[in-house]
Structure 1
Amino acid sequence: MSTSFNYKHLYYFWVVAKEGGISRAADKLDMAIQTVSAQVRELERSLGFALLKPAGRGLVLTEAGQAALQQADLIFQLGEDLPSKVRDAVSSPTVRLAVGVCDGLPKLVVHLLLQPVMAEANLRLLCQEGKLDDLLGDLALHRLDVVLSDRPAPNNPNIKLYSHSMGSSTIAWYGTSKWLEATHHNFPQSLADVPLLLPTTHTAVRDRLDLWFEQRAIRPRIVGEFADGALLKTFGASGMGVFPAAAWVHDDLLARYAVQRLGSCEGVTEHFFAIGTEKKVQHPLVQRLLQPVL
């Protein structure tokens, strides 16, 4: 980094990029347009690259500007978090763990995966559910300590992500007692004769289920598709149809939803991953989550 690099100049550039132009940035900063423009030019001079270029009547980011904006997002997000971090550090001895949970991950599985840290004294557990891409963005900005997912992290040229296996589970079919009677004979071909509830196609296990049906020449009668695993099980427990679930949580599933196991989904396995930004995990609670597989 150049010795003439100035974080104030970076901040002005960041506001310009966020606001979409120098004029709007000047209004937000309550500064003269010429002053903001000069600050951005000073940053460009210190870095040695143009960060903005004309486009029509406005300005757009150059490739160097896009790279600078990504780093500025990280820097100023950390700055925004600083007061709360300091306050939390001196106010109580809580141990904080911020976990991102992919929306397609079964909630009973999430509860099971987090069990190794639940006995931690003064634990402050923050869980955020969302789509994988959104959660990985928050992970990159250090808003999350770890992301739990049903698939490994995709390759990303802008940030190194590491996927740590947390285990896997076979899949079985579940339903209310009336579907047990309907599928008892000639299982699994009998699944073609009953209504099915399946996870949506954005989950990793759905592709495996579709292939499983195809290999057995079963034409499923799908009456419901759910992005949320808990919602799928709730409708399954109401008798709407037969549904797949991780056999790993068999006991909890039967206790909470009053359903029965109809048979195995042989050959289909659901995998679980903890995604982080470190190859060697530093957060002590994340280390504990991964202890069986580290």
Structure 2
Amino acid sequence: MLNYRQLHYFWVTAKTGSIARASEQLNLTPQTVSGQISLFEQTHGIELFQRVGRQLELTESGRRTLEYAEQMFQIASELEGVLRAAPDRQQVLFRVGVADVVPKSIVYRLLAPAMEGDRALRISCREDKLERLLADLAVQRLDLVISDRPMPNHLDIKGHSQKLGESGLSFFATPALARQLALPFPACLDNAPLLIPGQDSMLRSRLLRWFAEQRVHPRIVGEFDDSALMQAFGQSGSGLFVAPSVIAEEVCRQCAVEQIGHTDAVTEAFYAISVERKVKHPGIVAITQGARRELFNEGVGA
């Protein structure tokens, strides 16, 4: 069994870089700190530090142990803060997973209502592939997953989807690239350099089908699972890129680009996926109500 006091002495020593500094911070003698770390090493049959000249450096076992110790003592610090808080002001941790294909501006505007007012919520937000996020949702490591698609039918995971809203699609280009487009939209897309969402995005197939219907053939110069990375390349002038029309003004302002056209024939939808059929979590309630009332301004059903 782990001796947490010894682990704490190791953690402080690793963070401060020396036994002497750690002993000062812990208000102990260097001999006590060094002795306890040695006992920890002997118990577990590992070596945590090696001397390089006068410096202490972590071994591979030391680095691995430090990674776990960091997480453990961070959680302990958070718990201490929760326990010290007044009972009526204790924060509720709201753990949100975001599929990496969802635009970051959309994510912020969806989550913002949960952080407003006097709600005692603290948001922990993690971005990943949808299936990994849903696996964490299933074992209650997450309270909510925000995605561009509802809960997939093929996954044996209990989850319920609420449609937050949908938006048409806008096309953006830097001023220099926009000047090179001689024809009106959407004809100007033909043979134009284009950045598109990757294979994981629901938007990709809809977009390609729409191009075929419009009889335009853009030159696809980049595919991106991460919407923020696609915008960064678009901002640099690498090609035209797309984003939901509801955030068109924000994209133009933040990326210094121009909107060259939009279509409502291609839409991107956004969903809140949770394990609750009847949502009670105050964060999820705030997000669903805020999305429908403000961001998408429409009365969409679950």
The residue type equivalent to 1:161 in the other structure is G
After superposition, the Cα gap between the structure-2 partners of 1:209 and 1:234, relative to the gap in structure 1 and judged at 3 Å, is same
Residue 98 (str. 1) matches residue 95 (str. 2): yes
CA contact (8 A) 1:171 1:268 kept: yes
Partners in 2 of 1:262 and 1:144 — Cα distance? 39
Q: Which residues of 2 match residues 38-117 of structure 1 at below 5 A?
A: 89-92=82-85, 93-117=90-114
Q: Secondary structure at the match of 2:95?
A: strand
The residue type equivalent to 1:91 in the other structure is R
2:123 alignment partner in structure 1: 125
Deviates more, 1:211-220 or 1:141-150: 211-220
Q: Which residues of 2 match residues 224-263 of structure 1 at below 5 A?
A: 224-263=222-261
2:13 alignment partner in structure 1: none
- CA deviation string 1:82-131 (max 9, x = no partner): 98997564233223211000011111110111121122444311011111
Residue 221 (str. 1) matches residue 219 (str. 2): yes
TM-score, with normalisation over the residues of structure 1? 0.68
1:201 alignment partner in structure 2: 199
Partners in 2 of 1:152 and 1:184 — Cα distance? 39
Q: CA RMSD in A?
A: 2.1
Q: Secondary structure at the match of 2:184?
A: coil
Partners in 1 of 2:277 and 2:77 — Cα distance? 27
CA contact (8 A) 2:134 2:157 kept: no
After superposition, the Cα gap between the structure-2 partners of 1:109 and 1:245, relative to the gap in structure 1 and judged at 3 Å, is same
Residue 177 (str. 1) matches residue 175 (str. 2): yes
Runs of 5+ consecutive residues of structure 1 not aligned to the other structure: 1-81
1:44 alignment partner in structure 2: none
TM-score, with normalisation over the residues of structure 2? 0.66
Partners in 1 of 2:190 and 2:136 — Cα distance? 42
Size of the aligned set, in residue pairs, is: 213
Runs of 5+ consecutive residues of structure 2 not aligned to the other structure: 1-74, 293-299
- CA deviation string 1:136-187 (max 9, x = no partner): 0100111111000000011257432110011111101001112222235232
Q: Percent identity over the alignment?
A: 40
Following TM superposition, the consecutive aligned residue runs of length 4 or more in structure 1 with deviations greater than 6 angstroms are: 82-86
Deviates more, 1:185-194 or 1:252-261: 185-194
Partners in 1 of 2:156 and 2:177 — Cα distance? 49
